[in-house]
Amino acid sequence: MATRSDFTDEEWATLQKGITGSAMLVSLSDRDFTDTFGEVGAMAKHLASQQLAAPTEVTRELAKTKGSGFGFGTSPDKLRAETEAALRASVALLGSKAPDEVGPYRDLVAGVARVVADAKGGVAPAETQMLDAIGQALGG
78-134 residue pLDDT tens: 999 999 999 999 999 999 999 999 999 999 999 999 999 998 777 889 999 999 999
| Segments making up each domain of the chain, as ranges | 19-63+76-137
Residue 52 and residue 125 in contact, taking contact as beta carbons nearer than 8 Å: no
Pick from 7, 55, 51, 45: nearest CA to 23: 45
Pick from 113, 106, 127, 117: nearest CA to 58: 106
40-88 pLDDT, tens digit per residue, is: 889 999 999 999 999 999 999 999 988 767 666 778 899 999 999 999 9
Residue 115 and residue 49 in contact, taking contact as beta carbons nearer than 8 Å: no
Residues contacting residue 137 through CB under 8 Å, at least 6 positions apart: 83, 84, 87, 88
Residue 14 and residue 94 in contact, taking contact as beta carbons nearer than 8 Å: no
Residue 2 and residue 97 in contact, taking contact as beta carbons nearer than 8 Å: yes
- Least confident residue range of 9-13, 34-38, 66-70, 77-81: 34-38
**How many helices and strands, by DSSP H and E, does the chain display?**
6, 0
What's the CA gap between 136 and 140, in Å, rounded?
A: 6
CA 30 to chain centre: 17
Quickly state the pLDDT bin for 32 (edges 50, 70, 90).
low
pLDDT on residue 89: 98
